[in-house]
Chains A and B, each alone.
Chain A
Amino acid sequence: MTNTERFSLSMRLFHWGMAALILAMLTAGLLMVASLDGWQLTVLTVHKVFGVIAVLLVSARFINRLSQRIPALPDELTQWQKTAARLSHWLLYGLMFAMPVSGYLMQYFGARPIDVFGWFRLPAALNVDIHNYALFRELHSLLAIALIGIVMLHISAALHHHFIRKDKVLKSML
C-alpha cells in the first residue's frame, strides 16, 4: 500500500490501548457472568461503562486510520495471505464495534438504563422487549467467541512473523 516502515504513533497508541481494553473486557465479561460474589456487580458496572468508552474509541480509531498511511505487508506473503491479513483486521474492527453495540442493545431491550459512575445515565426502553433482549444477549456471547478466536489467530500471526519469519510486521506496531 505505502512505503512507511512503521504504524504512526497515533495508530500504535490506539492499537495497544485498545488491545489492553478489549482483552480486559473479554476477561471481565467471562468472569462476571459466572460469579455470585460481591465484586460481580462492581465489575458489571465498570464493564458497561468501559464498553461504551470502547465504542467511542474504536470510532475515533477508525476515522484516524482512514487518514493514515500504513506499512505494506511483506512482499514474501502470497496474495491469499495478504488478503487473509487484511480481512482479519477488518473483522477485528467490525467486532470491536459490534461487541459494545450488542451489549448496549441487550441492556436497552432489557429496559436497564446504564449508570455512568453516578454522573449520568444512558437511556433504555421503557418496557422490556424479551425477544430482542434474547437476540442481543446471545449475539453478545457469539460475537465474543468469534472475537476471542480471531484475536488468538491475530496474536499467533504476529508472533509467527516475528519469531519464525523474522520480518518487520511486529516491529511495525511497536
Chain B
Amino acid sequence: MALLLTPAIALATESPAKVTAQQFVDLQQGNTVYPGFRRAHAKGMCVSGEFRSNGQLSAYSTATVFQRGVMPFTGRLSIAGNNPTAPDLKAPVRSLALSFAMSSTQQWRLAMNTPPVMAVADPHTFYQQIQAIQAGPAAIKQFFAEHPESKEFLTWAAQYEASGSFASETYNSINAFYLINPDGKRQAVRWAIQPTVAVAATDMQGANALQNEMASRVLAGNVVFDWVFTLADVTDDENNATKAWPDSRQNITAGQIVINSTSAQLEGGCHAINFDPLVLPTGIEATADPILRARSSAYAESYRRRATEQLTGAFKEPKND
C-alpha cells in the first residue's frame, strides 16, 4: 500500500529546481546581450496619456488614482523577447506598462500582457517553460503535456488571434492584487485594459509595423481603453495565476486609459523606468501569488544590468525627460 502511494506522494511533493533572479534573467537575456536594454520585453515604444477615473473604485481602495478625476501616466507598449529590434508581428505576446507618479510618496507601476493567465504557477516552473520554448517545438509540447496546469492558458492561446494594432489588444494584470478600502477591508482583484476599437490583422510590413501603426493612429486621435476590474469571490484563489475566475464575477469599470502621444523608446521617458508591478501606492497591496512575488527581484536584476550599462557607456545615452 505504502509502495503504491509513493509515486503519488512524490508527484504531490515534487517541486522544480530553484533558480535565482540572476539565473532567471540570464535565461531571458539569452546568448546575445543588448547592452542598455531590458532583458525581457526589450522592444517597445513610449506612450503617454491620462487615466480618466470615474470614481467607481474609490469605495474599494484608498489609492488616489481611483478618486474621480484625471491622472497622467507614462507608459510603454512592447512585445515579449530579448531583442530590441525584433519584428513586431512575430512576437507571441504584446504588452502595456503604465507608471503613475502621483506624488513623492505615491507611485504605481503596472506591467500587463495579452494572455489572461499564466501557463504555470511559480517562477521555477516558469524557468523550465522558457527553457522548453528555447529548446524548440518538441520540448515545449512535452512541457505542456507534463504540466496540466497550463490547460487554461493553452485554451486561450488556441483561440487568440493577434490583431492589427496595439490599440485593439486586451492587456491583463494576470496576477491578482488586493484593493484596501478606507475601513482597511481588502478585496482581491485582477484587471484588464480593454480596447474600444477592433482592428483586424492586415498585411502590414516591416519590423516596426505595430509601432508605426500606433504612432500614426495616435497622431490622428486619442486611443482609448476601458479599465475593467474583476472582483474575486471568497471561493476564488487569488494566488494562482494559471486559473481565471468565473465570468460571473462582478466587474467594475474604473475609467478610461487614454493614450494621446507616442515616441520612440529612446526618446521618451519610459526607457528609464523599471515597471516593477510591486511598486504600489497606499490602498493597493501584493497578493502571495508566487509569480507576482518573483517579479520584483527579477525586474531589479534586469534593471540593474541595463542601468549600469547606460552609466558606464556600454550603451549610448538615451534621452530622458
Chain A contact residues, CB within 8 Å of chain B:
32-38, 40-41, 44, 110-113, 115, 118, 121-131, 133-135, 137-138
Contact = CB atoms under 8 A, between A and B. Distances in A.
Interface in B288-320: 288, 290, 293-294, 296-298, 300-301, 303-304, 307-308, 310-311, 320
Contact of A137 (B105, B276, B296, B307): B307
Contacts, number: 98
Nearest to A38: B293
Given A36-B21, A41-B286, A133-B303, 18 more contacts: A32-B297, A33-B301, A34-B20, A34-B22, A34-B297, A36-B18, A37-B290, A41-B296, A110-B303, A112-B107, A112-B276, A118-B282, A128-B269, A130-B320, A131-B307, A134-B307, A134-B310, A135-B311
Enumerate the 5 nearest inter-chain pairs by beta-carbon distance, A residue then B residue, closest first: A134-B307, A123-B104, A134-B311, A121-B105, A36-B294
B290 A38 contact: yes
Interface string B235-279: 000000000000000000000000000000000010111101011
A36 B310 contact: no
Nearest to A131: B311
B123 interface: yes
Interface string B197-221: 0000000000000000000000000
Q: Looking at chain B, what size class is its interface with the partner chain?
A: 35 or more
B124 interface: yes
Nearest to B239: A38
Given A112-B279, A121-B282, A36 B124 contact: yes
A131 B310 contact: yes
B144 interface: no
Contact of A113 (B104, B124, B296, B308): B104
Contacts of A123: 104-105
A26 B62 CA distance: 35
B56 interface: no
A130 B307 contact: yes
